[in-house]
Amino acid sequence: MKYNELRRKSKCVKIKDREIGANSDILIQSMTNTDTQDYMATIAQIKALEHAGCDIVRITVPNLESVKTISKIKEADIKIPVVADIHFDYKIALECVRAGIDKIRINPGNIGDEWKIKEVVSACKSQQIPIRIGVNGGSLEKHILQKYGAPTAEALAESAFYHISLLEKFGFDNIVVSVKSSDVRNMILANRIIAKQCDYPIHLGVTEAGDDYSGLIKSSAGIGSLLCDGIGDTIRVSLTADPVKEIYAGKELLSSLGFFNKGSIRVVSCPTCGRTKIDLISLSNSFKDAISDIDTKGKEIKVALMGCVVNGPGEARECDIGIAGGKGEAVLFKKGEIIRKIKEEEIISTLLMEINQLINEI
């Protein structure tokens, strides 16, 4: 990860066999949207997320019945850490810890009496289970909302520090913190305050961001600008879409900023113009489907799909391989140098063959 050294130095929080913060990779998270009690569906979705490259998965645990799913998940062959999302009920938190959950997300200020917070803290401490405090602009504490009059960045940050203080009071510092808002600017500013004033790892996300169009744009603006500032240790790109899409989006976002080091195929494509004589839009969609499951064995491979031979090879000179379209045909180029002509219908198979060779090159 070439920009890792530019990141804010945070504490290291261990979750199962992964680490959040310090020098570890920025982890990509998502959340299941199945009924947690339907453990077959939940496990199937976790497996799909894991297969897509998810590092940490969160499930909602709204009642004690849902806790049973945790042991079923433990029996299934799932490698990634599982986080329980809990609101208010300390008993559910205790049961999740007993069931072997890897991390819980709960806001201690919502638990109620201090003795209940203390019990949750002792249970998490005894099993070395971290807690994520997750402040959300839509559910700020009344006293903070009254003080600021609106869920401003300062109000969001104050809420996070309020919850942190309730855990620290009982000597607990195995904490990850997140401050989310559907207002991108507030989310950015609040996280900057948090990043300055504590050294806990930070989970980034824009909440209620929208579908896989507006959600992607809002998340890229919010998460992306903080990552560029060196802030953020784990991310979730929230989308009103299949959670697997959140993982692909997270990878693309990290990759575009030089923070993704597991290897990927990055596709560069031109916007098309009057010179384009090939159906580049359909080609790009089919190509993305064709490469979605390829394991690059840690390599970063850049592929260019360009509309014309006049500018294509030159503009995509930094790519490992690429094609530039003509009428019913294309030229294959490597690092900007034209290699040979190929027929339009051979483009995808030729690129896949070239990618395979690059992956297996020593």
Where do contacts with ligand SF4 occur on this chain (CB under 6 A)? 270-273, 275-276, 306-308, 310-312, 315
CB closer to ligand SF4 out of 33 and 311? 311
Minimum Å gap between C-beta 274 and ligand SF4 is: 7
Q: Cβ(195)–Cβ(156) under 8 Å? A: no
Pick the closer one to ligand SF4 by CB: 86 or 280: 280
If the CB atoms of residues 240 and 272 are measured against ligand SF4, the closer one turns out to be 272
CA–CA gap between residue 326 and residue 315 (Å, rounded): 16
As measured in angstroms, the least distance from the Cβ of 308 to ligand SF4 is 3
The answer to whether residues 203 and 221 touch, using CB atoms and an 8 Å cutoff, is no
Minimum CB separation of residue 360 from ligand SF4 in Å reads 30
Q: DSSP H helical segments within the chain, as ranges?
A: 39-52, 64-75, 90-98, 114-126, 142-148, 153-168, 184-197, 214-228, 243-256, 280-291, 312-315, 347-360
- Residue 289: CB minimum distance to ligand SF4, A: 21
The nearer residue to ligand SF4, 81 or 312, going by C-beta atoms, is 312
Residue closer to ligand SF4 (CB basis): 144 or 308 = 308
Shortest distance in whole angstroms from residue 283 CB to ligand SF4: 12
Report the C-alpha gap between 242 and 49 in whole angstroms.
10
How many whole angstroms separate alpha carbon 203 and alpha carbon 31?
13
* Chain position whose Cβ is nearest to ligand SF4: 307
CB of 331 to ligand SF4, least distance (A): 12
Q: With respect to ligand SF4, which residue has the nearer C-beta, 46 or 306?
A: 306
Residue 292 C-beta: closest distance to ligand SF4, Å: 24
- Burial degree of 342 (CB within 10 A; 0-12, 13-18, 19+): middle
Nearer to ligand SF4, 15 or 306 (CB): 306
> Which residue in the block uniquely carries the two structure tokens 């483009």?
347
CA atoms within 13 A on the CB side of 40: 0
CA proximity to 31, closest of 201, 227, 180: 180
Least separation in angstroms between CB 318 and ligand SF4: 14
Exposed, middle or buried: residue 350 (CB in 10 Å: 0-12, 13-18, 19+)?
Answer: middle
Smaller CB separation from ligand SF4, 123 or 347: 347
Tell me the two tokens of residue 302: 């850049």
CB 88 within 8 A of CB 60: no
